[in-house]
Amino acid sequence: MITIATILLFITILFLYLNNNSKVKYVYINEKTKKYHLEDCPYSKNLKEIPLKNAIKNGYEPCKICNHNNLQ
C-alpha cells in the first residue's frame, strides 16, 4: 500500500530532478562576435537575451569566461 509520505517523497524527488536539469535556459548573445554569455559574465551587459538552445542552433559559442560545460 502506497502511503502519503511515499507519494510526497516521489513528488519532491521529481521536482528536484526537473529543476537540476534546467540550469541555464537563457544566455546573452553578441551578434558581432557570435559568442554567448551568462548573466553574470562581464561581457553580457546590453546584449540580447535568447534561449540557450537557440544560441547553439544559430552557431553561437560560449565566450572564454563562460564555461560551456556548466550551461548544458
> Does 11 reside within a domain?
no
Whether residue 14 lies inside any domain: the answer is no
Name the burial class of residue 27, with classes exposed (0-12), middle (13-18) and buried (19+) by CB atoms within 10 angstroms of its CB.
Answer: buried
Are 48 and 28 in contact, with CB atoms under 8 Å apart? Answer: yes
DSSP letter assigned to residue 26: E
Position 57 scores a pLDDT of 95
Judge whether residue 72 has pLDDT over 60: no
pLDDT at 20 over 80: no
29 lies in which domain range?
24-72
Is 13 a residue whose pLDDT tops 80? Answer: no
**Would the pLDDT of 62 be above 80?**
yes
- Any domain includes 51: yes
Answer whether residue 3 is part of any domain: no
Does the residue 1 lie in any domain? no
